[in-house]
Amino acid sequence: MPDFTPTPADKFTFGLWTVGNTGRDPFGEATRPVLKAPYLVERLAALGAYGVNLHDNDLVPIDATAAQRDALVREFQQALSDHGLVVPMATTNLFSDPAFKDGAFTSADARVRAYALSKTMHAMDLGAELGASTYVLWGGREGTEVDAGGKLLDALGWFRDSLNYLAEYSESQGYGYRFALEPKPNEPRADIFLPTVGSALGFIATLDRPELFGLNPEFAHETMAGLSFPHAVAQAIDAGKLFHIDLNDQKMGRFDQDLRFGAENPKGAFFLVKLLEESGYAGPKHFDAHALRTEDEAGVWAFARGCMRTYLILRDKVQRFAQDAEIQAALAAYRVRDAELEALTGTFTPANAGALKAHAFDRAALGTRGPGLEALDQLTMELLLGVR
Ligand code: XLS
Ligand code: MG
Ligand code: MG
């Protein structure tokens, strides 16, 4: 029986803001004290994590002086090198400060849009200094409660202009970032622009350098939109755009919960792990979640350990699924092959099209055949429930 202990080779990462979450919510104060970044690094390394990600202000307060910034960065870098953790991803906090209350890149105020660009370029400098190669853009405040301002089309244009500008900045500085857009349907705004993976994929195609932009899909965000996370991730993979991933869990139809990975929907988590492992995704697996507000610091580390263990347990189940003869036989029966017809549908030629149009299909037989999905799904459940 494997012991499911993570190692850096598993490439698990956490945000400073995740294990550093103090439990504050819109109705209640913090329930846990602030933990300093170097301490978080030390504890994550001890648990077997690979890296740590950050927003600029997770490490450097928004009003820090240059000297304070440099001291905090040095202390953080020392902890990273002492404990062998890397910073694969960085991002900008464009949502906490009241200046961004009506958007950052999509604010109707040109001064706010300019400040958002400036703040992001400084944060990109910080990320590059720490070695980050992925730059996440979550547009938390990019949205509206009311559309009386009439900025829907303008906002998309401002957003596009800002992303184009930041890509040029990255290239001109030699940072070589790959930008990962993180869609979310709502919270903290009533309606956030580019609300789903599909919306972001469509938008990327309109950018000047689409090759530099991809996705950072999050389990909770697609679930909040009532969508299937594995389906969204499959589309990102198919488009060659899965640049990063935020793993957590979420009850559908609720506020943004950021639950421990697999806590709510282990079956969805299984199909997600299967997709990541079998598609060859090689990037970090980032847990963007936090311990329940009820928990003390011991609960925080139980949460972090739990996220990684659940991933490893599901990865083991994926291997068992691939080795299970009965499951593989059911899968083979489900995927019906037909050499003659596949030859005709593989490539369009006038001759193939003509032969296909002339082919006599047994429509009744096609409609009558049962594909065996009930049995296959039950086998999957029994594997997940630990009885096979
Ligand atoms: C919030 C987002 C946020 C981003 C990073 O819901 O998940 O944590 O991942 O800004
Ligand atoms: Mg989130
Ligand atoms: Mg996230």
| Tokens matching residue 150 | 């009439």
| Residues assigned a catalytic role | 55, 58
Q: Whose CA is nearest to atom 10 of ligand 1?
A: 138
Q: Whose CA is nearest to atom 2 of ligand 1?
A: 138
Nearest to 96 by CA among 59, 141, 53: 141
| Tokens matching residue 22 | 């103090």
pLDDT attached to residue 1: 73
pLDDT attached to residue 126: 98
pLDDT attached to residue 4: 98
- Mind listing the pLDDT tens digit for each residue in 228-255? 999 999 999 999 999 999 999 999 999 9
Distance 141 CA to ligand 1 centre (A): 11
Indicate if ligand 1 lies below 6 Å from the C-beta of 218. Answer: yes
At CA 306, angle to CA 382 and CA 33, rounded to 5?
155
Which ligand is nearest to the Cα of residue 136, counting in written order? 1
Indicate if ligand 1 lies below 6 Å from the C-beta of 91. Answer: yes
Please report where in the chains the tokens 């002339």 appear, as a residue.
358
Indicate if ligand 1 lies below 6 Å from the C-beta of 182. Answer: yes
Indicate if ligand 1 lies below 6 Å from the C-beta of 288. Answer: yes
User: What type of residue is 208?
Assistant: D
> How are beta strands 191-192 and 143-144 bridged, if at all?
antiparallel
Nearest to 134 by CA among 221, 45, 9, 13: 13
- Mind listing the pLDDT tens digit for each residue in 186-201? 999 999 999 999 999 9
The DSSP result for 285-309, as a single string, is EEE-----TT--HHHHHHHHHHHHH
- Mind listing the pLDDT tens digit for each residue in 167-190? 999 999 999 999 999 999 999 999
pLDDT attached to residue 2: 82
DSSP assignment letter at 170: H
**pLDDT < 70 regions, the chain:** none
Helix (H, G, I), strand (E, B) or coil at 148: coil
